[in-house]
Amino acid sequence: MRLPVLLSLLFFLHGPLRATVLHTGHGQRYTSVSGAAKAAAPGDTILVHNGVYPGDQSLQGLRGAPRKWICILAEKRGGVTFEGGISAWKGSDVAYLRIEGMVFARQTGNGLNFDDGGTYASPAHHIVLRHCIFRDMAATGNNDLLKLSGADDLLIEDCIFLNGSPGGSGIDMVGCHNSLLRGCRFENMGANAVQMKGGSSHINIEACKFKNAGSRALNLGGSTGEAFFRPADAAWEAADLKVSGNVFIGSEVPVAFVGCIRSEVVNNTIYKPTRWVIRILQENRDTARFVKCRDNVFRNNIVCFDEQLRTVCSIGAGTAPESFIFSNNLWFHTGNNAWQGPQLPVKETGGLTGKDPLFAGPGKEDFSIDARSPAARAGFPSPYPPKDHAGNDFRGQRAIGAFETK
């Protein structure tokens, strides 16, 4: 299933809310989400009333149907908090599930954990997370605010990820497919904001903001033990990822290509990374099984940096950087007008060097541009992405960066 089919399912097939409303929480018939989940049938809504509730809730096997999604809704957006526990909620083999308006805070394992129960042929699938807040991991290791293993057809939209574990991710996706992350904000992450590895593919990350989002804000790929790949015979960590219309502020490296193939980073704005702009790496060294990190695209991005930057592009052993495409990026060193441009593994076409993009207000996180910017009408005429960070249509002769001109 590809994204057009996924979006059709997500937005049009969950159907009207015509079945039972299971009132849940303090003073309600169901005192816990676990209890309500056991009673819920396809088409039902679990309505959680405002309050603070303990973690370690189970959604085990909670499954709706294509036109009868099960919804778990907060009475008021942000008014329901699940605090503490190893995980706030955990569920294997969940399906057709929509979750909105919740806050998950101070877990010691993973904030929210959905997986396929180890049965890789039957993933968790069709899960929507919207207007949720994941914050303040009470752990320092490889602990993730949202952990997804063997989960397909996901929509994660307008969510906030704040204060992750120093060794963990905002979202860690292992063997996930056909999914969309849109309009989310990641701030103060640890290892990374989003990691997609273990055979993950066909995932789009659109119109998100990443601020001080970890060592690698986006880890496109990674290093996964062979037993955890979905599909089991995947010859790459990740494939066919698309990153577009996003804003990156800080982070050691905004984008790391790590054992991934056929992935595109297009029309993003990158502001003051602290060590590198991108990295090209191969961390899984089984050359008999895995192809080299290769055939990826970095195009139509504004990259604005200062003297903190070590180098633009870091290249590791065992990769195929000569297969990458770099085109129509704008590179600007804020403190060195004599800077000669980036050292890239291949010759860039259509690139701009040493030109101030004329952001509207970077101190206020406003990276929009107008017609005076050298980035205006200077982008490669790609049909993707169709819309910018603010939801405006890109023109036929599009701008470079995350924003079309005003």
Residues 171 and 262 in one domain: no
Has residue 209 been placed in a domain? Answer: no
Mean of pLDDT values over 333-358:
96
Q: What percent of the chain has pLDDT over 70?
A: 96
Closest listed residue to residue 320, CA positions, set 284, 348, 281, 290: 281
Has residue 232 been placed in a domain? Answer: yes
Q: What predicted TM-score, i.e. pTM, was given to this entire model?
A: 0.95
Residues 17 and 157 in one domain: yes
pLDDT at 34 over 50: yes
> What secondary structure does DSSP assign to 92-121, as a single string?
ES-EEEEEESEEEE--SS-SEEEE-TT-TT
pLDDT band with cut points at 50, 70 and 90 for residue 11:
very low
Residues 370 and 231 in one domain: yes
> Can the peptide bond before residue 231 be classed as cis, meaning omega within 30 degrees of 0?
yes
Helices (H) and strands (E) in the chain, counts: 2, 35
Residues 347 and 232 in one domain: yes
Residues 145 and 43 in one domain: yes
List, for residues 278-322, the tens digit of each pLDDT value: 999 999 989 899 999 999 999 999 999 999 999 999 999 999 999
Mean of pLDDT values over 185-194:
98
Residues 277 and 332 in one domain: yes
Mean of pLDDT values over 134-158:
98
Residues 355 and 376 in one domain: yes
Amino acid 10: pLDDT: 43
Q: What percent of the chain has pLDDT over 90?
A: 93
Say whether 9 sits in a helix, a strand or coil: helix
Has residue 160 been placed in a domain? Answer: yes
Task: Identify the CATH number of the domain in which residue 141 sits.
Answer: 2.160.20.10
Residues 30 and 133 in one domain: yes
Has residue 278 been placed in a domain? Answer: yes
Mean of pLDDT values over 168-177:
98
Residues 228 and 182 in one domain: no
Has residue 207 been placed in a domain? Answer: no
List, for residues 14-32, the tens digit of each pLDDT value: 444 458 999 999 999 999 9
Has residue 80 been placed in a domain? Answer: yes
Query: Mean pLDDT in the chain?
Result: 95
Residues 6 and 144 in one domain: yes
Residues 249 and 293 in one domain: yes
Tokens of 350: 């259509």
Amino acid 285: pLDDT: 86
**CA separation for the pair 187, 189 (Å, rounded):** 6
pLDDT band with cut points at 50, 70 and 90 for residue 8:
very low
Amino acid 243: pLDDT: 98
Q: How many CB atoms lie within 10 A of CB 324?
A: 21
Has residue 208 been placed in a domain? Answer: no
Amino acid 19: pLDDT: 84
User: What is the number of domains present in the chain?
Assistant: 2
Domain carrying residue 182: 1-186
Q: Sheet of 112-115: strands edge to edge? A: 57-58, 89-92, 112-115, 146-149, 169-174, 192-197, 216-221, 253-258, 278-281, 313-315
pLDDT band with cut points at 50, 70 and 90 for residue 214:
very high
pLDDT band with cut points at 50, 70 and 90 for residue 7:
very low
Amino acid 9: pLDDT: 41
Secondary structure letter of residue 4 according to DSSP: H
Has residue 260 been placed in a domain? Answer: yes
Residues 99 and 240 in one domain: no
Tokens of 246: 């996003």
